Amino acid sequence: MQKKRNNNLLVAAPFLAPSMIGFLVIAAIPFALSFAISFTSWSGIKGLHILTADFWQNNFVGIDNYAKILKSNEFWVSLLHVGYYMILYIPLMLVTSLAIAMLLNKPRKGTAFFRLLFYIPVLTSWVAGAIIWKWVLDPQYGILNDILARIGISGPAWLQDRNWAMVGIVLASVWKDMGFYGLIFLGGLKNINAQYYEAAQLDGAGKMQSFWKITLPMLTPMVFFVLIISLINSFMLFPQVMIMTNAGPAGATQVIVERIYKYGFSYYKMGYASALSWLLFLIVFLFTYLQQRLQKKWVNYDV
Amino acid sequence: MKKTLALILVICMALATFGCAAQPATPAATEAPAAATAAVAETTAAPITIDFMNFSANEGGLLTLGIMKDLFEKENPNITVNIETFGYDTYSTQLQTRVGGGDAPDCFELGLDSFPSYVDQSAILPLGDLMAKSATDLSVLTEKSRDAFSINGTAYGMPYSYSTVVLIYNKDLFDQAGIAYPTNDWTWADADAAALKIKALGDDYYGLIQPISTYEFFKVVKQYGGSLLNDDNTAFTVNRSENVVALQRLCDNVLVSNICPSVEQRGSLDEWGVFKLGKTGMIVTGIWAFPSFTTDCAFNWDIAVEPGAVTKATHYFANGLCVSADSKNSEAAYKWIEFLATSEQVAQLRVQLGWELPCATYQSAMDQYALLTPPANRQAVFDSLQYVVPVPQIAQFSQMADILGAQLDAAANGTKSPQQALDDAQAELESAITLG
């Protein structure tokens, strides 16, 4: 038995090798390196001779970076900003993408066209998307404030106002992501057996009842998947912030990944940036683990 | 039989994959012979290739830099220059990755703001020895520019190009408001008074655009006799009373008199964009705006030396050329950067193309520069140089700029008083950055 298993491994290894080597070079080695670097004061503008004793003598700082981060106000404020983003973004994104999925699920003329329309933002690069949104949210010349003005609301300065900048980023993010998550929900909707609805109708259930009692429970695996993915993505919030506000105004949209980038590539503190990345990893890991544990309570896999 | 066949296949595949994996390692293996040939090169003039990384050729300067390279290679037939040009936005990341990855280019361009960080990390070579060996007369380079790229008396870079900031004004609006044009001895009181009159021309008119950012502020405080750091850059002095007075005026111009548009009023337009609309009297900005204003402004404009307060202070931004501390061809690299910095032909080529000014003071090039219009008063560019203050020479300048910048934002939008903002900045800077 033991012998056979080894044999399988021997055969499997070379087949795995091509992608494993890619993983090692592109992901695992950098992971390990960044972990090692996180215990140093390496600046990033000097050759990284990580295997020499000299390097460690000059740069080793123990857990100083981690301690400094946890003691710094900035780290917690950045986390708070990410939390604020999630509270706004995740519910809004869930509702809009589910709505899109429901709309596209009904067979009508031009569904394919609309499906494409909703998916275009997903394919658009963030750089282009963020620039479009900067214009949409312009306090004076922007289309959003123009629409608001027509219905008698004087819109805020969005990205230039510290209370509204994050809301602006949330709007852009929902626009960008709803097509993708909508498509996932659409797949889930298509999988629901029509007999359930027929049975419900016979029993006199209305549309709302069918939605709450059939559609939503049957979609829970999708909702779970979307929640995990969007939660992880929220922690990684970065390109839209860099382009739309560059962490401003007055630091109101400072977030973790933006901090990692700035520390690594602008402040020349690669060690500190690496420690930040590992803390971020821990947080994401923790959240994912918690969600996995909690899913048994509400996710329904018997389709 | 099947088993052996499988085993052979496995071995073949494993070998193939390891063969692939081993490939990237080969250059490292040949490094030693390469170093040996470099040593030989000095005596027999064997061909040398040097890598040069820069950003300033990115905007329309590629061809000109190519001409400079041809000139150099004609004089030094054994040296080939391999030019790599990146946009300014990505340049520092590109360079840092190359240097950090142990693959630093032999020589590269650095701005004054990131220069101290590279010196701090000994990533660039002190040029003293190479300068002493060279026969070229370095006195064509202004003393200011050479000082800018020296730290504690040691030269680390060749000054390449420089620029300054001036007061650019809309002549038509001054005529319309019936006020005299700015002169070189204006103070901010004069400028603010003129700005008020121009603002009075109409609802969407503004008098003056003066950014409230770290890059602007470190100079403005000098005009008030203040400073962001103490004399030997070992302590922050951000909340000094002179600095508060300076910030108070900047904020009042936005929040009280509103001669300066607020960030909200500007919206997605940047400072240049607002000025180009033709409804703003003056803007404090860099001389690198000239080409853009020449093409985009549908009105007459000219320049004057930036107004001052207690005293005058103007910007001095410079880009320098450095040799990597790890370069195996440092002599050839030095030759190339020295050529770029001191050659008269290079200086003339730069001016012809409207590139940033060369640090080499060749009369021929300066004369050529002074003839270009607009602005008619190009002399103000040179006059500004009498009052220059350098960018604070600290390794953590970029982090300092972000921390102070966020507090300046808060003061500019009225959420904090100038005193409060600068007190907070001082506290935050002290806890985040260790100087010395």
Model confidence pLDDT, tens digit, residues B311-320: 999 998 899 9
pLDDT for B17 equals 40
Q: Which residue has the higher pLDDT, B193 or A115?
A: B193
Considering just the CA atoms, what is the radius of gyration of chain A in Å? 24
Predicted TM-score (pTM) above 0.95 = no
Q: Is the pLDDT of residue B299 over 90?
A: yes
Q: Which residue has the higher pLDDT, B355 or B77?
A: B77
User: Which residue pairs from A9-15 have beta carbons closer than 8 angstroms and sit at least 24 positions apart in sequence?
Assistant: A10/B7, A10/B10, A11/B6, A11/B10, A13/B10, A13/B14, A14/B9, A14/B10, A14/B13, A14/B14, A14/B17, A15/B13
Element (H, E) at B292: helix B290-296
Distance from CA of A159 to the nearest CA of B (A): 9
DSSP lists the bridge partners of residue B384 as none
Distance from CA of B399 to the nearest CA of A (A): 5
Cβ neighbour number for residue A83 with a 10 Å cutoff:
12
Of A252, A237, A246, A218, nearest in space to A283 by CA: A237
Q: Which residue of B has its CA nearest to A248?
A: B406
The answer to whether B231 and B239 have CB atoms below 8 angstroms apart is no
Q: Is the pLDDT of residue A207 over 60?
A: yes
Distance from CA of B402 to the nearest CA of A (A): 9
From chain A, the residues in CB contact with B398 under 8 A are: 266-268
From chain B, the residues in CB contact with A267 under 8 A are: 396, 398-399, 402
Closest CB to B10 among A14, A48, A157: A14
pLDDT for A96 equals 95
For the domain covering B165-315+382-432, report its CATH number.
3.40.190.10
Q: Which amino acid is at B96?
A: Q
The answer to whether B145 and B318 have CB atoms below 8 angstroms apart is yes
Q: Is the pLDDT of residue B205 over 90?
A: yes
Q: Is the pLDDT of residue B35 over 70?
A: no
The structure tokens listed for B166 are 């001036």
pLDDT for B3 equals 56
Q: Which residue has the higher pLDDT, A163 or B32?
A: A163
**Spatial separation of the C-alpha atoms in residues B399 and A269, rounded to whole Å:** 10
Tokens 């010196």, residue located:
B119
Q: Is the pLDDT of residue A296 over 90?
A: no
Under an 8 A CB cutoff, do A14 and B17 touch? yes
Kindly provide the ipTM of the predicted complex, given to two decimals.
Answer: 0.79
Distance from CA of B266 to the nearest CA of A (A): 8
Mean pLDDT of A47-61: 87
Every domain range in chain B assigned CATH 3.40.190.10: 47-162+317-371, 165-315+382-432
Longest dimension (CA), chain B: 102
Under an 8 A CB cutoff, do A250 and B432 touch? no
From chain A, the residues in CB contact with B123 under 8 A are: 45-46
**Strand residues in B30-188 grouped as ranges (E):** 48-54, 79-85, 107-111, 150-151, 154-155, 158-163, 165-170
The answer to whether A134 and A159 have CB atoms below 8 angstroms apart is yes
**Quick one: pLDDT band at residue B36, thresholds 50, 70, 90?**
very low
Closest CB to B123 among A15, A45, A140: A45
The structure tokens listed for B299 are 């009105």
pLDDT for B40 equals 42
**Spatial separation of the C-alpha atoms in residues A101 and B300, rounded to whole Å:** 57
Q: Is the pLDDT of residue A38 over 80?
A: yes
Calculate the average pLDDT of chain B.
87
**Spatial separation of the C-alpha atoms in residues B220 and B242, rounded to whole Å:** 10
The answer to whether B211 and B271 have CB atoms below 8 angstroms apart is yes
Size of interface A-B (CB pairs under 8 A): 113
Q: What 3-state DSSP class applies to A152?
A: coil
Q: Is the pLDDT of residue B19 over 70?
A: no
Closest CB to A266 among B100, B118, B398: B398
**Strand residues in B103-183 grouped as ranges (E):** 107-111, 150-151, 154-155, 158-163, 165-170
Q: What share of chain B has pLDDT > 90, as a percent?
A: 61
DSSP for A113-148? HHHHHHHHHHHS-HHHHHHHHHHHT-TTT-HHHHHH
Cβ neighbour number for residue B175 with a 10 Å cutoff:
11
Q: Please give the domain boundaries of chain A with CATH numbers for all domains.
A: 2-59 (no CATH), 65-298 (1.10.3720.10)
pLDDT tens-digit map of B85-144:
998 888 988 999 899 888 899 999 999 988 999 998 889 999 999 999 998 888 889 888
pLDDT for B32 equals 42
- Residues of B engaging A, defined by a Cβ cutoff of 8 Å: 6-7, 9-10, 13-14, 17, 20-21, 92-93, 96, 99-102, 104, 117-118, 120-123, 263-268, 326, 395-396, 398-399, 402, 405-407, 409-410, 413, 415, 431-432
Distance from CA of B110 to the nearest CA of A (A): 13
pLDDT for B142 equals 86
Least confident of A212-216, B159-163, B369-373: B369-373
The structure tokens listed for A20 are 């494993």
CB-side exposure of A295: number of CA atoms within 13 Å? 18
pLDDT tens-digit map of A233-270:
999 999 999 999 988 888 899 999 999 999 999 899 99
Calculate the average pLDDT of chain A.
89
pLDDT for A299 equals 78
Q: What 3-state DSSP class applies to B149?
A: coil
Of B309, B134, B280, B276, nearest in space to B197 by CA: B280
Q: What are phi and psi of B95, to 5 degrees?
A: -65, -45
For the domain covering B47-162+317-371, report its CATH number.
3.40.190.10
